[in-house]
Amino acid sequence: MVAQYVGRNDYAKTNEATMQGIISTTFISIFIMILLLVFNRPLIQLVYHGVEPQVMDYGITYFSIVLFSFPFIALTLMANRILRGARDTKIAAISNVVANIFNILLTYLFLYVFKWEIVGAALGISLARVIGTLYVMWILIKGKKAIQFGKIQLYRPQFNYLRQIFYVGVPAGIESIIFHLGKLLIQVFIGG
């Protein structure tokens, strides 16, 4: 949608689509995070049944901490797609590089300097995701030619935008879920 509106030089609709996408992504990702937090232990036990108790405890601890970064992942993905739609692929790439550099640095610090073991690994990747999100959101709020996210004051659900977003997003989301379920299935076989 952003790419279509940018192509038409309709920046008001570009900004509205941006706001609707960011807000809906935030609410949906928080809902999924809470759902996964509630079912954390049963999910880990279902996927990695038969592993040693210590490995199971590590998996549950890691997943519990990393789950809090899920809304940040979702926001980064949405913001990067918005920027790509606005013809700014450079910022989207930089945000990924920034997050990966911080992931390496923080995880190394937490694992080898502070000796936080599994908690350090989970905190390293989670904080890196937060930093990547803050960077890309700062770019959106600061504003580019097409996107002036910071100028939009109040959010009100615009169902005509949301309908279009979900029309494209739901099939893409289902495809992504199927892809990740396949990866998870491979991990289960390897883990077994």
- Check residue 92 and give its pLDDT: 87
- Reported as a pLDDT band with limits 50, 70 and 90, residue 169 is confident
Q: Are 18 and 2 in contact (CB under 8 A)?
A: yes
The residues, any chain, with a CB within 8 Å of residue 164's CB and separated by 6 or more, are: 1, 17
10-55 pLDDT tens trace: 988 888 888 888 989 999 999 999 999 999 999 888 888 778 899 8
Q: Are 98 and 131 in contact (CB under 8 A)?
A: yes
Q: What percent of the chain has pLDDT over 90?
A: 48
- Check residue 191 and give its pLDDT: 64
Whether residue 86 has pLDDT greater than 70: yes
CB half-sphere exposure, 124, CA atoms < 13 A: 22
Whether residue 62 has pLDDT greater than 90: yes
How far is it, in rounded angstroms, from Cα 184 to Cα 192? 12
- Give me the count of residues in the chain: 192
Mean pLDDT, residues 163-178 taken together = 85
- Check residue 134 and give its pLDDT: 95
- Check residue 154 and give its pLDDT: 67
